Chain A
Amino acid sequence: MLDAKIPAGPLAEKWTEYKGHCKLVNPSNKRKLEVIVVGTGLAGASAAASLGELGYQVKAFCFQDSPRRAHSIAAQGGINAAKNYQNDGDSIYRLFYDTIKGGDYRAREANVHRLAEVSGNIIDQCVAQGVPFAREYGGLLSNRSFGGTQVQRTFYAAGQTGQQLLIGAYQALERQVALGTVKMYSRHEMLELVVIDGKARGIIARNLVTGELERHFGHAVLLCTGGYGNVFYLSTNAMGSNVTAAWKAHRNGAYFANPCFTQIHPTCIPVSGDHQSKLTLMSESLRNDGRIWVPAQKNDNRKATDIPENERDYYLERRYPAFGNLVPRDVASRAAKERCDEGYGVGTSKQAVYLDFADAIVRYGKIEMGKDGRNDASKEEIIARGKEVVKEKYGNLFDMYEKITGENPYEVPMRIYPAVHYTMGGLWVDYELQTTIPGLYALGEANFSDHGANRLGASALMQGLADGYFVVPYTLGNNLADEIYNKPVSTDHPAFEAAEKKVQDRINTLMSIQGKQTVESFHKRLGKIIWNECGMARSESGLKQAIADVQALKKEFWSDVKIPGIVNGMNPELDKANRVADFIELGELMCIDALNRNESCGGHFRVEYQTPDGEALRDDANYMYVAAWEFKQEHDWQLHKESLVYDVIKPTQRNYK
């Protein structure tokens, strides 16, 4: 059994207790301690900035040309916080409860409670940094609803909340760069972890411009490298998002937890053809106002606007009257798949459902006209005003939709379909966010800890910033307090030499294959296998087949991949090959994990385990644990369990009806 080192005491007091007793490092010693932060998204930028402010010597790495481009920037809808500004019954407990329930009782209580506790501080911090959140006319912060909750606790900046939060963290980071506490290495990719005497002591990074391999020492290493959704090839992740840094940690001894817990987001723009390189999310915030429906009769080829109200099936409102269109993502995605599989899908591919704003436009138009005392307004006038309101709320999302599809969503309903969006699984961490390798931490989406088997909307931004701003500055200090006696290890140490050689050898091997198939073609094939068998519905036979297929693909990759270009210089194809090679190994582990978990929970839906009305059927007696996998050798992992103890919340079957 794995020990998560959860502090003793009542749940609501654990974090306060911890902070009151954790070890501290005095300012003059902080200056002597070096910390490596890999990744500069919300978790990485906030951690690097906060640690720099504290006085540590920080080195931050990102593969993009600037830390501001990390994929957190693309998060749209918002960030949750238990502020209860709306007086609608919110509290720390309720945010904690919603998150645990949303995660289908597969998250760790102590971590989630801490997350809810610091959620309010995040909003305060961001406002202080100048993040321009949406405000009401009185000048106070505005909120909206997200899935899986019945209160309005989501703070937002139009459909660009992630951008604004990341720019806030990026500016804090650049301030530290200017002050000299953080040294920034952009266009660098971590390709190996250096472990000395059982402790993480540094990394090997490739300078993506020159191709040079560099050795960097750190008293601790923080991986803030995001999720692994690109294992599916098609996802809402950025093209460069990858698992490589986390995978190197895993191969060096860090356990990988719940890899099969992946989130399929219900509202994305559907795939249009084989050329597709990525998918685009349409924010969950749209479900505040949009209504999801399909035609009530199968294979209905009429235009959406020609289908009368009584021939439409608002299936979420029908199946889940209490939460309606705001059920959690896993539930909404499965419901869309079910309708399409049954033949009710729309569009040319029939793999889509409608997200319709017609009602909302009229509703808002009437409100605005009412404010002006215009009770005589014509239908056209109402619609025109309503469109203005919708534009202010979701304008950038509607524009994006129109650019991609060529259709105007103010006039015709959007066509949407579920797509891979987020990964709840990740490196196993204890309460302090430390992995099973001492000195190695994982923050944000890169760890597994807070979202269980399904993440609620607007909680990823919250977790990334909680980890970086408010958790790791304490927990890292608690461990670095014992490091003050340890001088930096020279990068001439044999462990650095060996790690660099390992990377060099792998690159040389990859480049020497000179086969016939491109990296991209392998990635696409991997994605198809994982999407079909380890996507929205999983079965024992399908997963067994997928494991065999992925193993065969790996063999083929290492004997027939074709990588052009040079080693000692810029070579994006080589970078991509390094990432795809790791995705292939991860894909196998995901299937193994999904096969091991003989239950359905959250986003993990095993067709063998469902309730009579098609909901996920958990098996708490046998699977109420975190599955943490230890890498032994190729195709061989050992399962370690962390049992989940619910002291405060009593797990029940999730009910959104």
Chain B
Amino acid sequence: MEHYHMNLNLKVWRQPNSKTPGAFKLYRVENISSEMSFLEMFDVLNEQLIRDGEDPITFDHDCREGICGACSMYINGKPHGPWSANTTCQLHMRAFQDGDTIVVEPWRANSFPIIKDLMVDRSAFDRIIQAGGYISVNTGNAVDGNALPIPKDHADNAFAAAMCIGCGACVAACKNSSAMLFLSAKVSHLALLPQGDPERSNRVVNMVAQMDKEGFGACTNTGACEAACPKEISIANIARLNKEYLSAVLTSE
């Protein structure tokens, strides 16, 4: 792989807190290596800002290997930037060319209020899980792990849904700020496993109710969420969610 260096212009959203209006601010970074990750480029910028006596840019990040789900930048009009099936932290600078201008915004959704700059509050996701995104089994209650065989394709499909990292890119990508892909991933994960069966009706009804309470928008099946999802969670999960929801409300007493 050939490596190169580049100078870039950055338009970054700055906002001191949720109550004060924000604005774009222009920055320039120079001599950026194509081998850097996008967040390492931000590290360079922040070091520069600190040395210049300015306030560094606040953003969420932690594992920097695409699994914790903390990073959340809206880059050039796309959640997590130009690469598909990717998180911001795994985006590397070889995606850009010398002289590019890159626009960086936070997730934009009413249910994800801005905390500062590019950092948003995604605790709504935790509350959706609290509404039923679990199997009620206390520690110590379990039977042997092999007591209940699970067909491989069910386990594989459950795993594919369970890969969701809870980053919120699906919400940020959706014109309605819907959380349906996130919710459907959890409902699917648990509905596909026999262990999740006893609670499946209450789970889906309660989680949908919580999602609505949090103010997430409606789903119109445009598929923008699936396209933005770093873990390629399938929109088929939304179909499964709808089926689960329908059968839950139609069969409720």
Chain A residues packing against B (C-beta within 8 Å) = 46, 49-50, 53, 64-69, 71, 73-74, 83, 85, 120-121, 123-130, 132-141, 157-158, 160, 163-164, 167, 170-172, 174-175, 177-178, 184, 186, 209, 236, 238-240, 272-273, 275-278, 280-281, 399-400, 403-407, 469-470, 473, 518, 520-521, 562, 564-565, 569-570, 572-573
Contact = CB atoms under 8 A, between A and B. Distances in A.
Interface residues of B, number: 80
B193 A272 contact: no
Most buried by B among A71, A128, A164, A276: A128
Contacts of B30: none
B98 to A, nearest CB: 17
Interface string B50-78: 11011110101111111111100000000
B50 A564 contact: yes
B46 to A, nearest CB: 8
Given A172-B137, A276-B40, 16 more contacts: A50-B139, A69-B69, A74-B65, A83-B146, A132-B189, A136-B152, A139-B149, A157-B159, A238-B68, A272-B33, A275-B44, A277-B39, A277-B40, A562-B51, A570-B116, A572-B56
Contacts of A238: 62-64, 68
B155 A132 contact: yes
A64 B155 contact: no
Interface in B2-48: 17, 33, 35-37, 39-40, 43-44, 47
Given A127-B195, A129-B135, A130-B135, A66 B125 contact: yes
B122 A53 contact: no
Contacts of A125: 137, 139-140, 142
B96 interface: no
A154 B185 CA distance: 26
B22 to A, nearest CB: 14
Contacts of B37: 277, 404
Nearest to B133: A171
Contacts of A177: 126, 130
5 contacts: A65-B121, A129-B135, A130-B162, A130-B190, A564-B56
A121 B116 CA distance: 43
A459 B94 CA distance: 37
Given A129-B195, A573-B50, A573-B56, A278 B64 contact: yes
Interface in B126-185: 126, 129-131, 133-146, 148-152, 155-156, 158-159, 162-163, 165-166
Contacts of A127: 142, 145, 148, 195
B47 A71 contact: no
Interface stretch (B85-93, B212-220, B221-229, B236-244): B85-93
Given A85-B146, A403-B90, A405-B1, A68 B69 contact: yes
Contact residues of B: prevailing secondary structure: loop
A470 B155 contact: no
Given A172-B134, A239-B62, A572-B56, A133 B35 contact: no
A73 B144 contact: no
Contacts of A132: 155-156, 158-159, 162, 189, 193
A136 B146 CA distance: 11
B92 A124 contact: no
B86 to A, nearest CB: 7
A239 B61 contact: yes
A275 B152 contact: no
Contacts of A129: 134-135, 137, 195
Nearest to B90: A403
A274 to B, nearest CB: 9
B170 to A, nearest CB: 16
Nearest to B143: A124
A238 B107 CA distance: 22
Contacts of A573: 50, 56
B134 A171 contact: yes
